[in-house]
Structure 1
Amino acid sequence: MNFDSIAPISIGKFLVSPLSKRLADGLYAASVSIRSGRGSATTDRVMRFTGRFLSAQAAQRYAQDQGLAWVSERQPSARLAMV
């Protein structure tokens, strides 16, 4: 995984962390971690996407957009913060 391009974004109780992974063919896969809670009550949802991208940054931007969309569906006040 590539952890050094796009920083995690905190929105309300969620932490959205976009990730990318270089594939054997040189393209990149995207995934996003959405963490909530604290301590032993922490949950982490990880979504992996089927698209392939030319750069790590493009994969991470896509993952970030998908993660923010997921959060906005569950936390209506997040929509206002993202605009």
Structure 2
Amino acid sequence: MNHDHTPLAVGKYLVSPLARQLDEGRYAASVSIRSGRGSATHDRVLRFSTLFDDAAAAVNYATEHALNWIRERAALSCA
């Protein structure tokens, strides 16, 4: 079962975290970081190997990693 959560707009990016329940009951986390529109859309998907006891923890982990990725890109563009 997948647990989608409300996408979060951060500047030009749309962050969409996802928690997926595995057979053993734990949760895997992933996140989509989308930018652009139409044929110029770019979508980076990050999948994490860490497993979580609940969906909320997986989503929080994925969201924080996405926000860190966005901050790193912003810092590089300012340098």
Which residue pairs with 2:28 in the alignment? 29
Q: Higher strand share goes to which structure?
A: 2
Q: 2: CA distance between counterparts of 1:73 and 1:32?
A: 16
Question: 2:70 corresponds to which letter in structure 1?
Answer: V
Give unmatched runs, 5+ long, in structure 1.
77-83
1:1-83 alignment runs, 5 A limit: 1-3=2-4, 6-76=5-75
Q: 1: CA distance between counterparts of 2:27 and 2:63?
A: 14
Deviations 1:24-80 (A, max 9, x none): 10000000100000011101100000000000111000000000000011124xxxx
Give unmatched runs, 5+ long, in structure 2.
none
Cα RMSD (Å) of the superposition?
A: 0.9
Q: 1: CA distance between counterparts of 2:68 and 2:8?
A: 13
How many residues in Structure 1 have an aligned counterpart in Structure 2?
74
Runs of 4+ in 1 over 3 A off after TM superposition: none
* TM-score, length-scaled by structure 1: 0.84
Alignment identity in percent?
54
